[in-house]
Amino acid sequence: MYNAIRNSVRLLGHLGQDPEVKQIGNGNKVAKCTIATSETYKSKEGEQVSETTWHQLVIWGKQAEIAERLMKKGVEVAVEGKIANRTYTDQDGVKRFVSEVIVQEFVVLTRKPA
């Protein structure tokens, strides 16, 4: 029962750019883009505060092909997937840490960019 929700994430937000789609060596496709999620709340002073968080999305295979056609900057999407962490060394030799959402399913909620 708990395995179904272990390392599971659901996000609803707007795309920050069109997906960048690449074909890798085995003919498989991968799409990468960002999604912005926002929340609004009242501060202890009573002022309305809005916070936006950006998330990196990675979409593989057939889903990447569909994302390439349907996902455009500004559209609202719902995604479900899992969090993956990785490290890499940038061109200046600095070790970087990245968290990404590996998308397993998505739904485009708007047809035209906002």
The tens place of each residue's pLDDT in the chain, 114 residues long, gives 566 678 899 999 999 999 999 998 888 999 999 999 999 999 899 999 999 999 999 999 999 999 999 999 999 999 999 999 999 999 999 999 999 999 999 999 986 655
19 by Cβ neighbours in 10 Å (0-12 / 13-18 / 19+) ranks as buried
Checking DSSP bridges between strand 95-108 and strand 76-89, what pairing results, if any? antiparallel
The domains of the chain are located at 2-108
- Give the per-residue pLDDT at 107: 95
Encoded tokens for 57: 């999305």
Secondary structure of residue 69 in the 3-state scheme = helix
CATH code, 2-108: 2.40.50.140
